[in-house]
Structure 1
């Protein structure tokens, strides 16, 4: 039987990806001296918001997700960011596996709301990586197949600045908001009726009319 442990050593932006993509560098150790021929790794990545403190400004940004601070004992619970997978080459002893972490900038997604609410300076995102999958071993009797135990996990504190760097590289000074077709049609009609240059200007006009200050 193989004895596998996983440790997330680093998470960094993938510089040449077409879409926003982080990469987790995972150190895998096999301590029984078995020869791993290959490994199909699946991973569920969760955010564990209880593992860090929040400033008043962050708490205001998290109001939509968790409510006011007095409710956080009931609402501040771990939630899933993504499911991802990769295939690792054979090794003996230890190896480093790169795990892709595709990201979204959709403000309607819970994770994006959470990440946007965090201050960049010195802040981190408390992540939990839950590993599973299949191990293919090679020995004197041929090949064997084993399951990666469901209790294999690792924690990692992702600097908010790393995620902001990724978003800035793919969406410089812009964001993405999903609108209903009827809302989008009404917004386009408003833009045309007022002779505005774009939908961004139309929304800015509507916000200013409602008394909102745009930085």
Structure 2
């Protein structure tokens, strides 16, 4: 029976993709005498948010996700981020493959709020593997087996890697998704006031409110 081991060595981003895409460099090791024909690899990725410390500013940034910091003992839990598939090419003993993770800048998505709210350090990730392994025995007979659900790998993704990727795709900008009726009201306000840009529109609305906005 073929057995594989997984280890994430590095992370980078794919430039000029259709969407921001993070790449995890995954090292896969197999048995010495077994020839792996291919692996249909499934990977579920979780954010282990309770496995790192947070600055006071980060705690403020993450209130929308976890509430006030004095409640984090109850609310700070691992979060499902995404699930991706990778077709691993033939190899004999080990191979290095790119696991591509399409990322969104939608602030209605919890992972985006979490990544954006961090200022420094790293993001603890847990990768859970499943899928099918196609390999040849020493007799040359083709076999297939499933990757055990116990197979996993941890990696601490630098916060700077995610932020640099988003800055490359969306320089000095962020995206908000609004309901049509809310956008229509905002658009009418912008036109009625003769405000040339959306930035100035929001700045004027913020300046007109009595609510103190933290900086």
- TM-score computed with the length of structure 1 as normaliser: 0.94
Report whether the alignment pairs 1:132 with 2:126: no
Instruction: Give the conservation status (yes or no) of the 8 Å contact 2:32–2:92.
Output: no
Number of the residue aligned with 2:106: 106
> CA deviation digits over 1:90-114, x for unaligned, max 9?
1111111110011111111101111
Instruction: Give the conservation status (yes or no) of the 8 Å contact 1:42–1:133.
Output: yes
Report whether the alignment pairs 1:91 with 2:86: no
User: Structure 1: which 5+ residue stretches go unaligned?
Assistant: none
Q: SS of the residue aligned with 1:90?
A: coil
Q: In 1, distance between residues paired with 2:194 and 2:62?
A: 36
Q: SS of the residue aligned with 1:165?
A: helix
Instruction: Give the conservation status (yes or no) of the 8 Å contact 1:204–1:214.
Output: no
Q: In 1, distance between residues paired with 2:114 and 2:8?
A: 22
Runs of 4+ in 1 over 6 A off after TM superposition: none
Q: How many residues align?
A: 213
Q: In 2, distance between residues paired with 1:179 and 1:105?
A: 14
Instruction: Give the conservation status (yes or no) of the 8 Å contact 1:36–1:136.
Output: yes
- TM-score computed with the length of structure 2 as normaliser: 0.94
Number of the residue aligned with 1:34: 34
**Cα RMSD over matched residues?**
1.5
